[in-house]
Amino acid sequence: MGWIGVDLGTQSVRAVLADAKGSVLARATRPLTSHRNGVRHEQDPQTWLAAVDEVLAEVAATELDGIAICSTSGTFLLTDRAGRPVTPALMYDDARAAARRDHIVDADPDRWATSMQPTWALPKILDLVADGHDLTDRRVVHSADFVAAHLVGHPVATDTSHALKTGYDLIADAWPTAAFDKLGLPLSAFPEVVRPGTELGRTPAGVPVHAGMTDGCAAQIAAGALTPGAWNSVLGTTLVLKGVSNDLLTDPTGAVYSHRHPDGGWLPGGASSTGAGVLTELLPGADLDALDRAAGPIDAVTYPLTKTGERFPFVAPQAERFTLGSTPDDLHVYAAVLQGVAFIERLAFDHLQTLGADPVRSVSLTGGATRSGYWNQIRADVLGVPVELPAVPDPAYGMAILAASGGTDLTGTARRMVRVDRVLEPRGSRLDELYGEFVAELDRRGYRG
């Protein structure tokens, strides 16, 4: 028995084969390329299919019980009614249609005034319509759906997770038909929506293909953070937090949005514009491993924005990077950035708890930044809670778990399959005073509203 999870990322396709005990039996990866032109970011969806075919052939087992696919949140393309692409894939961070956000909000202010973001899929769909695409003979297809359709041989439903940034109403569990009518968007262009884990169809070999989730949710599953009080913090180029709440958290600032938990309840979280990506800009060519070995707490902090504007834990389009204190050399620059990310992480959890989230019990750390042992410990110290390092912190592994659940008792399935590699206990933070100064500076600049 075995299940395959596929992660359709920006730079690569990855696949993991896992058994019922959570052991990883095989892995494979293939690179992807994309095209950027100013605020535009596109990929050729046909390249996904070749890469997916190759990774599946490499990891496939003789007895395969299911496949599930995750992809970047908000990436989509238009196809004809038969499922053939008629546009490139517009990527999750493509900002070509930012000016159309206000038009969408005007169509339903109560629904979208705080939640709709300029890079979500819905503004870009309007932009394609303005460019001449007639949606009456088109289908809106998310990237994971396009690959699933390729595997089963026909167009498929999407899942609630991928549908969120296309405007799907998770509370009503329906597309917002009245708002779409105002926007001139025919409901026929949008796919049926099902719960993650639902069987979408079968491959020619008879293997079930299950509806997946977005990559952030997939990482959360891989971390096993599926009960209230347990959180997953993904730190790579940027910082993404995902957790669980029994009730929907309403954020009037729009910084927090929620996916549906496949087992019931909600998966609140947010994506910051801060993260490790700023290190490559501030310290080009530096030996980050050597800096990590030498790092220690300092009386300086950098607000580590990777670009102008913040999305979470507050919304501030005008926000810019700044440093408090002195950073006279590379080591101080490095430590100041690490402390800044940890401070934003703590501020994010503070914000979530003001909205009604359960107190933070534990945090699972995933993402490329976990290679830094010093950073992991600093985050535990600043947060004041244990941090866990999962044994297989891979979104593709999360999809293998989802496939194994078959859409039933995902939490219990993850409990059986997810293992923790190690736990770091907080040592008490010497940075509390600096954290207070950092938050005060954010307020002085008007970033937190």
pLDDT digits (tens, 9 = 90+) for 28-63: 999 999 999 999 999 999 999 999 999 999 998 778
The whole-number average pLDDT for the span 295-300 is 94
CB-CB contact of 14 with 394 (8 Å): yes
Beta strands in 312-449 (DSSP E): 322-324, 362-366, 387-390, 420-424
Spatial CA neighbour of 382 closest among 352, 356, 367, 360: 360
* pTM over the 0.85 mark: yes
What's the confidence (pLDDT) of residue 449? 78
Q: pLDDT-derived band of residue 348, with 50, 70 and 90 as boundaries? A: very high
**Residue 66 one-letter amino acid:** G
Using alpha carbons, list the distances in angstroms from residue 233 to 135, 292, 423.
38, 20, 14
| Residue listed under structure tokens 């339903």 | 108
Q: Which residue has the higher pLDDT, 430 or 151?
A: 151
Spatial CA neighbour of 191 closest among 239, 152, 142, 144: 142
**Residue 190 one-letter amino acid:** F
Phi, psi of 269 (to 5 degrees): 170, -170
Helix (H) or strand (E) holding 163: helix 160-163
**Topology, domain 223-444:** Nucleotidyltransferase; domain 5 (3.30.420)
**Topology, domain 3-210:** Nucleotidyltransferase; domain 5 (3.30.420)
Determine if the peptide bond prior to 359 is cis (ω within 30°). Answer: no
> Got the DSSP string for 310-332?
B-SSS-BTT---EEES---SHHH
Using alpha carbons, list the distances in angstroms from residue 64 to 7, 61, 205, 218.
18, 6, 10, 20
The whole-number average pLDDT for the span 114-131 is 93
pLDDT, one tens digit per residue, over 315-346 is: 998 999 999 999 999 999 999 999 999 999 99
Q: What percent of the chain has pLDDT over 70?
A: 100
Q: pLDDT-derived band of residue 445, with 50, 70 and 90 as boundaries? A: very high
Helix H segments across 108-239?
109-112, 121-130, 143-152, 160-163, 177-183, 215-223
pLDDT, one tens digit per residue, over 196-207 is: 999 999 999 999
What is the distance between the alpha carbons of residues 284 and 329, in angstroms, rounded to a whole number? 13
What's the confidence (pLDDT) of residue 367? 87
CATH 3.30.420.40 domain locations along the chain: 3-210, 223-444
pLDDT at 398 > cutoff 90? yes
What is the distance between the alpha carbons of residues 160 and 213, in angstroms, rounded to a whole number? 8
pLDDT at 414 > cutoff 80? yes
pLDDT at 16 > cutoff 80? yes
- The angle that helices 395-405 and 215-223 make with each other, rounded to 10 degrees, is 80
Chain-centre distance of CA 92, in angstroms? 10
Q: How many CB atoms lie within 10 A of CB 182?
A: 14
DSSP β-ladder status, 3-8 and 12-18: antiparallel
Q: pLDDT-derived band of residue 236, with 50, 70 and 90 as boundaries? A: confident
CB-CB contact of 259 with 225 (8 Å): no
What's the confidence (pLDDT) of residue 387? 96
Q: pLDDT-derived band of residue 244, with 50, 70 and 90 as boundaries? A: very high
Report the mean per-residue pLDDT for the chain. Answer: 95
